[in-house]
Structures are given as C-alpha cells and as structure tokens.
Chain A
Amino acid sequence: MSRYLLRRLSHSLAVLWVVATLTFVLMRVTPGGPFDREQRLPPQVLANIAAKYHLDEPLISQYLRYMTGLIQGDLGPSYKYLDRTVRDIIISTLPVSALLGILALAFAVIVSFPAGLLAAYYHNSWTDRWCLFLATLGISLPNFILGGLLIWIFSLQLGWFQAGRWGTLSSIVLPTITLGSSAAAYLTYLLRSTLIETLGADFIRTARAKGLKEIVVIFKHAMRNSISPLLTVLGPLLAALVTGSFVVEYVFAIPGMGRFFITAVTDRDYPMIMGVTLVYSTLLVSANLIVDLLYSVIDPRVKRH
C-alpha cells in the first residue's frame, strides 16, 4: 500500500511539474504583457518595473527563479494588486470559493440522489420524464442566465434573498443553487443510467427472488454497485467546484478565487495565473488520488496493483 501510494504521489508531482512548465511557457508566448496600457508607460518606467519583477532576465532564469520559489511555497508577487503576494490573495479567496463549492456539491448530491433513484426506479414513467427534463434544463442553462434569472425572481420580484455579496445566510442560497445545478443535473443523469443498468442485472433478480425487501435490494445491492462511476466524476467535480467559478462569483459579487482564472489571464498577471492554475491542478490530482483509493474500499473487486 505505501509503495503504491509513494508511486502515485511521485506521478502526481510529475504531473504538477508538467502543468507548471506548460503554463509558464504558454502565458509567456501569449501576446500582450502585464504592463501594457492604453496610455503606454515611458520606457524608463517600464525598465524599473521589469527590474523589480526580474522580467528583464532571460526566460530560463525567470523560470528557474519561479520554480525555486515554488518549492519553498513562494508564489511570487501579484503584478496587478500592488504590494500583495499571490499567496495572500489565494489564502483570502480560496476559503470563500471552497465553502461555496462544498455547499454546491452538497446541494447537487442531495438533489441528484433521490432524483436519479426515482427516475431509474420508475423508468419510462412521467416521474422519469420530469426528472430528465429538469436535468436537461440544469445542464443546458448557462450559469449566468440561471444566476440572473434567480436574482430577478427571488431578489427583485419576491425579495426573499440578497441579490449579491457573500457572508449572510440570505446571500448563500442563490449562488449555491446556481453553481450546484449543473452538477446536480449531471449526477442525476449518471445515477439514473447506471441504476437502470444495475436494476436489470441478474444479481438484483436473485436478491428479489430471495425475498429481500425492496428497500434492501435498492440501497444495499443496486446503489452500492452503481456508485463507483459517480465516485469517478465526484473527484474532478469537487476540485472544479471548490476552486470557484468565474461566472457565479461575478454574477453574485462573491470575493472568491474563481474570478482569477479569467482576470489573471486578461491582466497578464503571470504569477497569479501560475498560482490559480497550480492550486486547481493540485486539488484535481489529489481528488483523483483519493477517489482511486476509495474505490478499493467501496468495491472489493477493484484490486490494487
């Protein structure tokens, strides 16, 4: 087990190194730089700025400098937010995104499990069709439309919830639903289709023939066998939700990390681009690792090698 873990960990580190290197190269070949302005800065001012951030050094030494810093946990200064480090910014924004992401995932799970189950159990009935309809809606409605719609209905028309910002109970509901809806829809689809397959399997017929109660058949036998595909997507889904969504954070004015996936790039804030990319890929790699480890707990058929 520990050898397996060690091997997986070293793989993960290699993946992260590749991601870091590719990101570093890609952002530097993208046209436009962090200090390009409508009102162009005088060359001597640009030279001072370049010297401050070591942008006047050859690219390879900038890369080595960044990597050395990274190993020591130093993500560098932000070029956009003066006097703030990328680490500071991530520390203050990631928890907000993480809380929203976890709430959204919880919402998705709470909604999708009963929905997927009902749809599969009453396959081809009206219940099934309704669930499918709602799931299709959830997947195809873009977040900015759904968010705007929810604000219009629940904030402006009904006045139930705050339109924007974060921190109060009233502010949490709408962004959670917006962020969680497509995940909920996706999970419903997935659960429904695997459950339909499982419910038609021989061992379910056997279980029923043994005279087991229907509830035991569903939850002990069918669910348990349908959950591993769900687990596979839950890992990456968690990583994506926890690091924040640009759209949801923009629409609801939430001070999370998600916005930086876009703004860091439009600002060409190089260290910030590296920072958020690395946080996201670290979470993604770890989530996948944990999911792989969990397989063996849930499904004894999965053997570690």
Chain B
Amino acid sequence: MVGLTEFDRNLRPAPMVAKSWEIHDNGRKIIFRLRDDVLWSDGKSVRAQDFEYSWKRLLNPSTASEYAYILYDILNAEPYNQGKITDSDLVGVRALDDWTLEVRLKHTAPYFLAITTFEVTYPQRRDIVEKNGARWTDPSTIVTNGPFLLESWSHEDEIRLKANPGFFLGKPAIDRIEMVIVNENTTALAMYEQGQLDFIDNRSIPIFEKHRLIRQPGFRIVPQLRGYYYGFVTDRKPFDDVRVRKAFAMAIDRRIFPKILHGGEQPINSWIPPGMIGHNPEIGLPFNPSEARRLLTEAGYPNGKGFPEITLGYNTDETHKMVAEAIQSMWKQNLDVLVRLDNQEWKVYLNKLNNDPPHLFRLGWGADYPDPDNFMKLFTSTSGNNNTRWKNERYDELVERAARELDEQERVRLYNEAQRILCETDLPIISLFVTAETTVLNPRFTGLEFNSMARLMLRQVRLTEPTGANPS
C-alpha cells in the first residue's frame, strides 16, 4: 500500500499519492494535491475522499484504534475520538474535490507531514469496509493500491504477494513475494541456509550467529531510530541525588555493547538518535570512572561504602540480560557498588513499572515518525511514558516550543538545550545505545532492506544483474 507520502533516503517525506502540498496559515493548514493516476486493485481511482474516510474511521471511537492518537494534531480529532463531539464533519480533514485534501491542524506541527507516511493514514474504501465488515482485510475482498497485491494470507503461517501490473510507478521487478512467519530464530536461519528463504532479519538471527553471518555478502546493518536506555526513579533514595545518577552514568563504558551484542549497536550519550534532526553527539556525559567515583564520594558514598542495596529491573530477554550483566560488572568495578538484577516477563514488568518500579529500569523507545518531538516528549512531566517521575519545567517548555517551531535551526537550538538538561544536568535517564536491524539477503537479489524506521521496502527488490552474481 502507499499513502500520501513516503520517506526518501534521508527520511524526509517525499511525494507518493500526493504529488504536492501547500502549507498555509503558519503551518496550521495543509492542502494535499493528489495524483489522478493512482488506482485501487479493482480499477477505481484513489481519491481524496478515500483518505478522508480512512482518517475519520481511525478517529471514530467505535473503531477503537490503538493508533487514533497519531492524528490528534488535527483540529477536533481528539474530542471526536474521545466522544466529546460526535459530528465527524467538525474534524479538520476534508476532500475539497476528488484530488484535493484539506487538513486543518489545531496547532503548528512541523512533524505532521512525516505522520502521513505512517500506514494507519493510508486510504481506505468506504464501500469495501462497509460491505464486508471485519472481513474487509480478507484477500478475497480487500482492495489495495501498492506495488504488490495480497494474493493469499494464511494466518500465523504466510502471506503471498504478487506484483501489481497497474501500479502507477510501474510493475515491480519481482513477480511474487512470500512472507513466512517463523518464530524460532534458529529455524529461520536454517531455512535461509537451506535455501527455503531468501531474506531474514534481526528476529531470525540468533545473537551467537551474528559474528559468523557478518562475513556473508548479503549481510547488512541498518541503524534504527530506536533508543535503549536505563531510567532512574528520581524521587527515591539513592537516585534522588543527581550526583549519584551522574556517577552511575559516567561509570559505564558504552563501547562494550556492539562487542557483546554484535548487532551494529551504536553507543550514544545523548538521547535524539543519529539520522534525526537535533541529534548532537557533543551532548552527554562520557565515560569517566574517576569523576564518577568523585561524585559518588561527594554524595556520601566513598568507594561505594554505605550504598544501599538497589535493584535494576529489565524484562526477560537474552539481550537485556547481557547488557544488564555488563553494566552490573562495570558498576562493581568502577564504583564498588553492587546492583541486584531482577527480570520479569514483559507484561508483568510493564505493570511493575507503573506500580512498584525498581530503582533502575530498562526500556527502549522507537519512533512513530522520524522527528525529535516523538523522542523528547517522552520525558515531559505530563508524558504517560515517563517512568522516572522526573519533572523539569524548563525542559517541558523547550520541548513544547520546539514542537510548534517551523524554523529548523531554531528547533535544533531548542532541542540542544533540552537535551543538555536531560543528558547532562538532570540526567533522569542513561541513554545507552541506538539499536540496529541486521538482515541477510540472498545475493541473487538486491534492493530489499529496512529503512531506519524498521519498515521493509519491497518496491525496489530486483534480481541481481548476472555479472558478479553468486547464485546459491
């Protein structure tokens, strides 16, 4: 499927169904001009009304979509989703004619265009959804508009796609793609090596096999816009003291993570990941064990003496365990502090973070859209995902102002200041590394890869030219 826009290689929204757009009213009104040659798989044109219907359906409370909030920047979208207003005509999205879509926002939102790359904003056909109800996604009834069509879908087993001859950018080079669900990574790898599969990703590559696969020609590492961090519960001893937090952060040598995880992890001291505007490698507290010891002494725990027993929590997983053990031993070595590790099953862990969090906890954060707003808002005092109980008015203000600022340079300046508070002065979290996707593609093919939002781009897959090919 394709939507209004698609990411280009630099993760900027580029035209797709929308051939152009105009921004009015200080960023609060966007007019999308649609191409008139995009067809649904049943031959009908993709029209602005299909977007209007899809977006309003997403926001309709009875759809109960998990992603409804992604459109909350639209005028009246939030009250409509809350059921406070029931007239969908009041929601700020409207097809002016078949090829013109008007979107009115409740405030300036420089990241809104990036949201239109997101799958849930893709168009839907009212006639198909209303006729088939819950079965509208069935291969026999669904209509789509992308480079590939859904041929069959055997749930929990496989999805078969076939090339769409009517795709407006031309039929893809590959006729058919089979996507197979294999939960066990060693099996998936065996199937790849046996030739049953041509492409596998992170989830199918056991950690202990990565160092072997890294030498294969089709191996690739794609850094993701996904941060991995440890949070402090800042309203409880001993981490209510910022010196202790700093000491813990500066006692970690982050260079160890790619060495033990083998997945192209990039150590990071700041929070906004590389590849996003606002990323600034200068920000953050680097590894400095002597300064860490000094800070801990200053806080009243010389050589870790008298330090209370604390717990680091993480959800049960091989990777998280390796990271936690590595850090545990660095804290022991550099601060002479013993930290107890405590792992729990994912949902139990999430529940515990809400009700009875450990002193230190592991979490990750992936972007819905590649804009720093998505990352920085996480630690505002009103964020439902801020488990650190840390509040800073200046930080809140900076993040809010940056979200409404259209000038990119000014935004970067605001985010720099906010990141200094987050990663240098207040330090409610320790940003550890940015994760990566590792994939292996049969060298017979090229062009199949993840972008840094972990989305798989199928359109550009093709057979490798015979010269230099290495059929296996």
Contact = CB atoms under 8 A, between A and B. Distances in A.
A156 B81 CA distance: 53
A165 interface: yes
Interface string A122-155: 0000000000000000000000000010011001
Interface in B55-90: 61-66, 68-69, 72, 78, 81-83
Interface stretch (A104-112, A190-198, A224-232, A246-254): A246-254
A30 B352 CA distance: 12
B363 interface: yes
A49 B365 CA distance: 23
A202 interface: no
A6 interface: no
A164 B196 contact: yes
Given A32-B348, A51-B64, A165-B196, A253 B180 contact: yes
Contacts of B351: 31-33, 36
Contact of A48 (B68, B154, B346, B347): B68
Contact of A45 (B66, B156, B157, B194): B66
Interface in B166-222: 180-184, 186-188, 190-191, 193-194, 196
B348 A31 contact: yes
Contacts of A268: 347
A83 B135 contact: yes
A92 interface: yes
B471 interface: no
B187 A156 contact: no
A166 B181 CA distance: 12
A84 B155 CA distance: 10
A44 interface: yes
A252 B364 CA distance: 30
Interface string A8-45: 00000000000000000000001111011111111111
B182 A164 contact: yes
Contacts of A252: 184, 187
Contacts of A259: 156, 183
B137 interface: yes
A163 B135 contact: no
A255 B347 contact: no
Nearest to A253: B182
Given A31-B351, A45-B66, A51 B61 contact: yes
Interface in A188-247: none
Q: Which of B156, B180, B351 has the most CB of A within 10 A?
A: B156
B364 A38 contact: yes
B384 interface: yes
Interface of A: 30-33, 35-45, 47-49, 51-53, 81, 83-84, 89, 92-93, 148, 151-152, 155-156, 159, 162-166, 250-253, 255, 259, 266, 268
A14 to B, nearest CB: 32
Interface residues of B, number: 48
Interface of B: 61-66, 68-69, 72, 78, 81-83, 134-137, 154-157, 180-184, 186-188, 190-191, 193-194, 196, 345-348, 350-352, 363-366, 368, 384-385
Contacts of A32: 345-348, 350-351
B106 to A, nearest CB: 15
A83 B132 CA distance: 11
Contacts of A89: 155-156
Contacts of A164: 182, 184, 187-188, 190-191, 196
Contact of A151 (B68, B83, B190): B190
Given A266-B345, A266-B346, A39 B385 contact: yes
Nearest to B378: A39
Given A38-B363, A83-B134, A250-B184, A163 B196 contact: yes
11 contacts: A31-B352, A32-B351, A45-B66, A81-B155, A148-B186, A163-B196, A252-B184, A252-B187, A253-B191, A255-B157, A266-B347
Given A38-B364, A39-B365, 10 more contacts: A37-B66, A39-B368, A51-B61, A92-B156, A93-B156, A162-B194, A163-B194, A253-B180, A253-B182, A266-B347
A44 B157 contact: no
Nearest to B374: A39
Contacts of A49: 64, 66
Contact of B69 (A31, A41, A155, A163): A41
A40 B365 CA distance: 11
A181 B438 CA distance: 36
Nearest to A156: B190
A40 B187 contact: no
A202 B135 CA distance: 67
A105 B134 CA distance: 38
Given A45-B68, A52-B64, A255 B154 contact: yes
A253 B184 contact: yes
Contact of B64 (A43, A48, A162): A48
A259 B81 CA distance: 35
B395 to A, nearest CB: 19
Contact of A42 (B154, B188, B194, B384): B384
Per CB-CB distance, the 6 closest pairs between chain A and chain B, nearest first, are A32-B347, A255-B157, A52-B64, A163-B190, A253-B182, A31-B351
Nearest to A85: B134
A255 B156 contact: yes
Nearest to A165: B180
B459 to A, nearest CB: 25
A187 to B, nearest CB: 27
A37 B193 CA distance: 34
B194 A155 contact: yes
B347 A35 contact: no
A43 B350 contact: no
A259 B181 CA distance: 13
Contacts of B366: 39
Contacts of A83: 134-137
B347 A31 contact: yes
Contacts of B385: 39-40
B446 to A, nearest CB: 25
A253 to B, nearest CB: 4
Contact of B183 (A37, A51, A253): A253
A48 B60 CA distance: 9
Nearest to A148: B186
A44 B184 contact: no
Contact of A163 (B66, B191, B368): B191
